[in-house]
Structure 1
Amino acid sequence: MLRRTFWFTTGVAAGVWATTKVNRKLRQLTPESLAATAANKAIEAGGRLKDRAVGFALDVRDNMAHREAELGDALGLNAPVDPAHGLPAPRRYTAVENRSDPKPVSKYVDRTTYSYNRNEDH
């Protein structure tokens, strides 16, 4: 008799457990539940993407400031001020000059001597 009671109780417990599992899965597969799950996943993905974008933007900003400082040093913009004159030290010139482009020195230069070829830009 004890053996039958044990197996009966075990069967009832297994049936309750299986019924609970099936009902949970059916509730997860309703359209409302699927829509809510999709919305939650989209919100999580958007948050992760935003965090990455913010981190990328901060990295770009830091590298940009570092590169601007390098360029300022190379061009002499960050040079110390000459105390005698109150002016910064003269700028260094670029290493490569474009001597093939004869542009006028000012806007008052005679434009007839300056030849401009439209096709040269392409």
Structure 2
Amino acid sequence: MFRRTFWFSTGVAAGVWATTKVNRKLRQLTPESLAATAANKALETGQRLKDRAVGFALDVRENMAQREAELEDALGIQDSPELPVPRRYAAIENNRSNPKYVENPTYSYNRNEDH
């Protein structure tokens, strides 16, 4: 009797284990799960490519600055000329001190008025 109970329990445990494994695998193979996995892999790959591109750009800038310094030394340029400061223009205000200000314009800005 004990042997029958042992083998019955072993069979039940194996069945539960196999059913659990199969259900997990089936859930992994659903279209939603496959799409989510593919999206995660794509995001990870994009992040890795972005990190490599940033590293490459930093290396290029560093090497460019080094080469510029070498060229300046070879050409005998001591101080590189400074670029002029960009001009800033004040925004044009619509007030009475502005000569282009018209209190009552003879034209309308309504595009639908003529139609």
Q: Same fold (TM over 0.5)?
A: yes
TM-score interval (norm. to shorter): 0.5 to 0.7
Task: Note the 1:1-122 alignment, pairs <5 A.
Answer: 1-78=1-78
List 4+ stretches of structure 1 deviating above 6 A.
none
Q: What number of residue pairs does the alignment pair up?
A: 79
Give CA deviations for 1:67-93 in whole Å, capped at 9, x if unaligned: 0100010011127xxxxxxxxxxxxxx
Deviations 1:16-74 (A, max 9, x none): 11101111111111111111010000000001101111111111111111101000100
- RMSD over equivalenced CA pairs, Å: 1.1
Unaligned runs of 5+ in 2: 80-115
With CA pairs under 8 Å and 6+ residues apart, which has the higher RCO, 1 or 2? Answer: 1
**d(CA) in 2 for partners of 1:78, 1:70:** 11
Alignment gaps of 5+ in structure 1 = 80-122
Rounded to whole Å, the distance in 1 between the matches of 2:24 and 2:78 is: 68
Q: Percent identity?
A: 86
TM-score normalized by structure 2?
0.65
